[in-house]
Chain A
Amino acid sequence: MEVELTTLKALPAPQAVEAAKLDGSGLPETFERLFLAEYARVVRIANRVLADGDEAEEVAQEVFLDFHRSHPADAEYAAPWLHRAAWHRALNMLRGNRRRLSREAAVAVPEVDFGLDPAGLHQASAQRERVREAMRRLPRKSAAVLALRYSGLSYAEVAGAMGVSVGQVGTLLRRAELRFKSEVKS
């Protein structure tokens, strides 16, 4: 509690006022609105990297917790910060945990229709493993633009999360797709 109290003292005035109106849960109302608005997208971004819904949600929880502790919920940069932190942290998790690859092979549920026969499932698992390995080897910027765009963010939102101009997103995306396919085939 000592940490929380000292942190509270250092908050900017508007947030300190809001924090004083906590509803007993420990989270300001503005932050909870932000959470409800962005949580699904943050999970989708992380899931696009991790291909694991549970771990994507774990990443999302950490991302929101970090944001809550360091930033005002009404900050203009809130959404791009969350999106960027999501792919950043998910990539770190993916690259720091090679054991995932074998687990993915066991639990993968592909959208791509390979049929339900054992051979088809095996093929799907093998492909998933190759794809995750390729994602892990991609340059971070390439992995990021794929995760952000394929999770449904607009080009403007991708640009905001990556800190690049909107005009660059198409080029980055095109380059990343080619590199990604090349990595999968290698």
Chain B
Amino acid sequence: MNHLNQGALRRMLDEPGATGAAEAAHLAACGECRERADAVGQEAGGASALLAVAEAAVEPGVALLKLRRLAVEQPRRPAARWINGLRRRRGFRPAAALLVAVGLVGGVVATGAADGVIEQFEPHTFVPVSVNPANLGSVPDLSAFGSYKVAGEPRFSSVKSADAARAASGLRTLLSPSGTLPATVKGAPLYEAFTQAQGSFTFSAEKARLYAASRGKPLPAMPRGIDGTTISVTAGPGLLTIYGAPAGLSGAPAEGPTSSRGIHIPSLAIVQMASPRVVSDGASVKVLEDYITSLPGVPADLAAQIRGIGDPASALPVPVPTGQGSHDVDINGNKGLFVGDSTGLGAGVIWQHDGMLYAVVGTLNESDVVAVARSLA
């Protein structure tokens, strides 16, 4: 019989009766294995001493009462928690808020909105704008230039069937035909429906002045008419269909792919939602765009890309991190935008059709992502 390996020796130390008789007999007869077993035992003893911790004083009955209260008083919405995790990433919110504002304002500009005319914007195509995440730290928080107002927080509902998802969202649940999903996408999906979200942002010259004073640096003068201008955004309702959800959301809590920033990426997520609608009142939105893109901290190349969009009448700028590729793809006759690479580490496609915005993202390569997008029915 061969000598016992380190793993077997380690187990025999803890569970001597669990290994076979042959292994036990070999250990008894083999001086070399006994010597190695002694070394394994010494190492284990040292680790055990280092790992010693004071045990928690557990009272399961008391803990159960607490859990009962939690279950009733603090219902959590898993996908909402997942999404909120993304929102809480340091620097994400202010940078993203400004980018979205710039993008949406850019879209409104192209509708031909004039001073005092309320105009509506809905994205129909998507234009990539390259952003370097490392440079976004300098982007000022939009709250320094006005006030957010949330008129309607989206309510999330976790459900486990397509029918329940449709009932919760009011949207027809799009799925790939059975058996056509990529082999790496396994298990049943979770569905997360959310209601319409409404919010607005109102520019304030006074807040901008205070911000400039606090920084001790001059800001470009806020053009007349911007003060008090409100951009209102409505998005949703919508539905997320998630395969390979993060730990705690579905199935066994397997360790799934995690991005470099520690965000767990589902193996596949399908997004469908009523297209966001943006309404602007007050100043010329062209003036708003020029003002926002001229603020200190907004990377010059990003501002130039926003301004340089050729057909912003119906185009929504989509931030694409440097290093990621992007190009147009056809999704059943609709012009979509693919973002990602071919490594399978993460990719997505976004498109619009008939007043609805769709996206497919996941830890898949381009061909799989696009195939899923085209197969939805």
Contacts and interface: CB of A to CB of B under 8 A. Distances in A.
A143 B147 CA distance: 46
Interface in B232-286: 247-250, 252-255, 262
A77 B252 contact: yes
Interface residues of A, number: 70
A163 B56 contact: no
B52 A47 contact: no
Interface in B59-84: 60-61, 63-64, 66-68, 70-72, 75-78
A131 interface: yes
B239 to A, nearest CB: 13
B308 to A, nearest CB: 40
B51 A174 contact: no
Contacts of B58: 39-40, 43-44, 57
Interface in A91-108: 96, 108
A7 B159 contact: yes
Nearest to B6: A174
A7 B71 contact: no
Given A88-B253, A89-B247, A51 B53 contact: yes
Interface in B153-175: 155-161, 164, 167-168
Contact of A3 (B7, B18, B75, B253): B75
Contact of B63 (A39, A51, A173): A39
B51 A150 contact: yes
A128 B366 CA distance: 47
Nearest to A3: B157
B51 A131 contact: yes
Given A26-B71, A85-B253, A174-B40, A180 B50 contact: yes
A66 interface: yes
A117 interface: no
A6 B9 CA distance: 52
B377 interface: no
A65 B71 contact: yes
Contacts, number: 172
Interface string A2-29: 1110110111000000000000011100
Interface residues of B, number: 59
B60 A35 contact: yes
Nearest to B56: A53
Contacts of B180: none
B44 interface: yes
Contacts of B354: none
Interface string A59-73: 011111110111000
A32 B68 CA distance: 9
A109 B280 CA distance: 60
A118 interface: no
Contact of A171 (B10, B67, B155, B157): B10
A53 B167 CA distance: 43
B176 to A, nearest CB: 20
B185 to A, nearest CB: 18
B87 interface: no
Interface string A30-58: 00100110011001100110010110110
Residue among B56, B158, B262 with the highest chain A CB neighbour number at 10 A:
B56
Contacts of A32: 64
Contacts of A89: 247-248
A159 to B, nearest CB: 11
Interface string B40-53: 10011011111111
A3 B5 CA distance: 53
9 interchain residue pairs of minimum CB distance: A53-B56, A171-B7, A170-B7, A170-B11, A177-B47, A10-B160, A66-B248, A170-B10, A111-B52
Interface of B: 5-11, 14-15, 18, 40, 43-44, 46-58, 60-61, 63-64, 66-68, 70-72, 75-78, 155-161, 164, 167-168, 247-250, 252-255, 262
7 contacts: A6-B164, A11-B160, A26-B71, A39-B60, A111-B54, A149-B14, A155-B18
